[in-house]
Amino acid sequence: MASTVQFDLVSPERRLASYPATEVQIPGAQGDLTAMEGHAPTITSLRPGLLKVVGAEGMKAYVVTGGFAEINASSVSVLAEQAVPLDEMTPAQMDALVADACEAAAVNADKDTADKAVADLYAMRAQAGI
Amino acid sequence: MPSLKDLKNRIGSVKNTRKITKAMQMVAAAKLRRAQEAAEAARPFAERMTAVMSALAAGVGTGDGAPKLLAGNGRDQIHLLVVMTSERGLCGGFNSSIVKLARLRANELVAAGKTVKILTVGKKGREQLKRDWGNAFVGHIDLSEVKRVGYANAQTIAREVMAAFEAGEADVVTIFYNRFQSVISQIPTEQQVIPAKFEATGATNAQYDYEPSEEAILADLLPRGVATQIFTALLENGASEQGARMSAMDNATRNAGDMINRLTIQYNRSRQAAITKELIEIISGAEAL
């Protein structure tokens, strides 16, 4: 078994996951990145996307909508604004997320960022196949 | 001197009251446990968030380029006080203590020539503040329909507050809530959320790479930080409310018990007096023959 990092996923309301993982694929704001043991300390903000974690029991995926990740040589903490395990995600929830983002985009002054968020959500939806 | 019948009714009604307060205490105890769990579950996120933000804030500083949510908009004229109270009463001094603190602060600010605006969360505080500060109200957030406070509620409040800040309708935003200490002690707390204040953490941990840039992450995080602080406050407030209600209802139950004892003694005495009186009448009637 490859060496592991301590993976934590917390949302404002609760701690969703905390276990050792061999690799964590993070949807960073400037592109996906994979964190493994010995990664240089990094803080990156997240874009809406799929967070994939490879642990002892195989790969788990979570839908995250934003927040940031703190990567250390021995731990990865993801602080997501909203996070839902992919297999608990329903099309209805997905629709709600997209609707929220569209609504935010309509009132947001920063058009580019808001539109990007909506586009990211659509991309994630296609990727997740919901 | 109340009649025997009156006393009996009185005892009955106090007993009913005791049943109600006892039930409320139990409900509050159950709710308190839930609220405490929620507050505990939210803690890791808030702690991490603050740690990262204070590290970032220390790096970026409060120079000209700093985000406004951190450095402020350079003015200190309009203060927006967000007063968080409960939606229901019967929780002892819970609401009054928050309102008292908010009122004190508002008076100070006005004396210093500042403008005070008040945003109320929870209707009990609104009712108490209405008379003195009714003109200062700029809005109200109703959580009476909300069974369980979620992050979304905090976001709603945060959005409102930030909109006011961005529109220049508020320069400094402070929130008022009760910090949960224990069931018998809740501490009224004021906390400035905009411009953000961080305690210097001193120990700067490993040098991080920032992606995109330090400034961009900070700008992205600050609005979330506001929402997180408000969320934490709401949860603390929720736990405090249930704690305060629990101890208030405990007192009420005990008081009702004492009252029942006193009334029962009075009832028994009057009954005994009535019996004695009747006996005397019979005996003296018999002796007269």
Q: What is the pLDDT of residues B219-250, one digit of tens each?
A: 788 888 888 889 999 999 999 999 999 999 99
pLDDT band at residue B200, thresholds of 50, 70 and 90? low
Question: A76 pairs with which residues across the strands?
Answer: A7, A71
Comparing alpha-carbon positions, the chain A residue that sits nearest to B55 is A43
Q: Is the domain of A37 the same as that of A97?
A: no
A residues 28-47 lying closer than 8 A (beta carbon) to B: 28-30, 33, 40-45
Helix segments in B112-213, DSSP class H: 123-133, 151-166
The residue that leads in pLDDT, A111 or B81, is: B81
Q: Which residues of B touch A (CB under 8 A)?
A: 38, 41-42, 44-46, 48-49, 52, 56, 150-151, 154, 206-212, 216-217, 220-221, 224, 227-228, 231
Pairing assessment for the beta strands A42-46 and B209-211 based on DSSP bridges: parallel
Q: How many domains does chain B have?
A: 2
* Residue span of the structural domain in which B117 resides: 34-247
A residues 85-124 lying closer than 8 A (beta carbon) to B: none
The answer to whether residues A9 and A68 touch, using CB atoms and an 8 Å cutoff, is no
| B256 found inside a domain | yes
| B29 found inside a domain | no
CB contact under 8 A, B46 and A43: no
Would you say residue B179 has pLDDT above 70?
Answer: yes
Is B212 exposed, middle or buried, given 0-12, 13-18 or 19+ CB atoms closer than 10 A?
Answer: middle
Catalytic: B222?
Answer: no
State residue B74's pLDDT score: 78
Q: Is the domain of B47 the same as that of B114?
A: yes
| B205 found inside a domain | yes
pLDDT band at residue B258, thresholds of 50, 70 and 90? very high
Q: What SS3 class is residue A110? A: coil
The partner residue sitting opposite B209, judged by closest CB among A12, A40, A45, is A40
Q: Mean pLDDT lowest for which of B164-168, B172-176, B204-208?
A: B204-208
B91, B219, B226, B256: the active-site residue: B91
CATH of the domain at A48: 2.60.15.10
State residue B169's pLDDT score: 86
**Residues in chain A within 8 Å Cβ distance of B208:** 41-43, 70
Would you say residue A102 has pLDDT above 90?
Answer: no
The partner residue sitting opposite A13, judged by closest CB among B41, B208, B217, is B41
State residue A81's pLDDT score: 84
Mean pLDDT score of chain A, rounded to an integer? 82
Q: Is the domain of A48 the same as that of A112?
A: no
Would you say residue A83 has pLDDT above 80?
Answer: yes
State residue B26's pLDDT score: 95
Of the candidates B208, B204, B230, B205, the one whose C-alpha atom is nearest the C-alpha of residue B217 is B208
Q: Is the domain of A49 the same as that of A13?
A: yes
Residue B62 amino acid letter: T
A107-116 residue pLDDT tens: 665 666 667 7
* Residue span of the structural domain in which A80 resides: 5-85
Mean pLDDT score of chain B, rounded to an integer? 88
Q: How many domains does chain A have?
A: 2
Q: Is the domain of A59 the same as that of A14?
A: yes
User: Testing the interface with A: which of B47, B148, B208 to mutate, by most A Cβ within 10 A?
Assistant: B208
Of the candidates A39, A45, A30, the one whose C-alpha atom is nearest the C-alpha of residue A4 is A39
Q: Is the domain of B262 the same as that of B177?
A: no
Would you say residue B12 has pLDDT above 90?
Answer: yes
Q: Is the domain of A102 the same as that of A76?
A: no
ipTM of the complex: 0.79
The answer to whether residues B236 and B179 touch, using CB atoms and an 8 Å cutoff, is yes
State residue B286's pLDDT score: 93
